[in-house]
Amino acid sequence: MGVVTGVLALSLFGCAETSSEDEVVAMSGESALGEAGTITFSANGDVRVQGTLERGKTARVAYDADRLTTCRGEQGGLPAWTISGYYRIAGGVIRSFEAGGLSPSHGTDKPVLTLDSAGDLEVWFQNTSRWGCNAYDSDFGRNFHFSVNPAASDPGWIGNLRAVVSRMTCDGGKACESDMDEPENGEVRYDTWARQRAAIRSVFFEVWKDGVTNWDNSDLWQQLDVQLHSRASASAEFQTSYVSFDRRVGNNARYEIPLRPLDPIPGNFTVQKAADCPNVDLGIAADGNGAHVETVLEYYVTVNGVEFRPAGGGTFRVRFQNYADLYAVCLPH
């Protein structure tokens, strides 16, 4: 049985019944919508894919409600049951769509899946009714699985995150290879020493795409759209900026994220009033003496729309620290 976060509550007023399988299949040729294909679940138990499922596109689901008839019944001439579809890609967030029966969206919520990642596409269905009936179409608890192919523009690999916070420089002011360390748990510490003494304060990562990064490619900037997404407050929206190419390392392109421009608490002056405090989550650093404040900058990277995050999801982090007396008025009292 598929994992479901909650049972869809039914409303009996102003709702329509969803389209039949034939009606949905007839719409599968709408290539202008960016659809990669159609996944059809037939009444006889067959499951088939028409077209190719590809990241960056959508897939339409044609589900025959006669596959799942356990929960039925009408009230006021309308179906008092619904079939909800659920899906997730590569073990990510579970999303839902309307697949049959009563349509809470009045038929505007089309059974279309957003293929925003490559990998394993997992799909299952739940039939519920007003009277508390529950039934599943989930390939006997295994769920239905399909492969979402990478887009043609996708990089082949992103990785090798390294940080350099050092006084040393090499090759005319560049970071020294010997100083590159893998951040522990994906976090870099940017303290007062780094701010005052370090010559290099950057994070690096590498990208590989066959035929693009494995030679001195002058068109690399056009073929790889490399962006940084960062925020220093959990309630803020991620801000986006471009990441600069550093150098080619073997067959990979290496990119550099300088940390100084991202510093949300540079301490250029003592903050005198709360209105001038930076919009960050600020607190006392866990150094035991209360002499420093800190805030954590979250970030992740995209390359041609493909996300680079820590293993298991989440974000990379930079822990910025500065002297507490500069931001005393900004601290919770």
Q: Is the pTM of this model over 0.85?
A: no
- CA distances, 312 to each of 40, 94, 167, 171 (Å): 31, 15, 33, 36
Q: How far does Cα 100 stand from its chain's mean position? A: 29
Query: E strand or H helix at 298, and its extent?
Result: strand 292-303
Give the helix ranges, DSSP H, for 218-264: 220-223
From CA 157, how far away is CA 247, in angstroms rounded?
16
From CA 232, how far away is CA 243, in angstroms rounded?
18
Q: What is the DSSP letter of 236?
A: S
Q: Tell me the per-residue pLDDT of 135-155, one tens digit each, with 9 for 90 and over.
A: 999 999 999 999 999 999 999
- Report the candidate in 134, 114, 117, 116 with the shortest Cα–Cα distance to residue 125: 134
Local structure of 241: helix, strand or coil: strand
From CA 127, how far away is CA 83, in angstroms rounded?
4
Tell me the torsion sign for CA atoms 297, 278, 268, 331: negative
Q: What per-residue confidence (pLDDT) applies to 107? A: 87
Question: Residue 134 above 60 pLDDT?
Answer: yes
Q: Tell me the per-residue pLDDT of 258-301, one tens digit each, with 9 for 90 and over.
A: 999 999 999 989 999 999 999 999 999 987 689 999 999 999 99
From CA 146, how far away is CA 168, in angstroms rounded?
50
Q: What is the DSSP letter of 220?
A: H
Strand bridging mode 187-190 / 316-323: parallel
Q: Tell me the per-residue pLDDT of 54-98, one tens digit each, with 9 for 90 and over.
A: 999 999 999 999 999 999 999 998 999 999 999 999 999 999 999
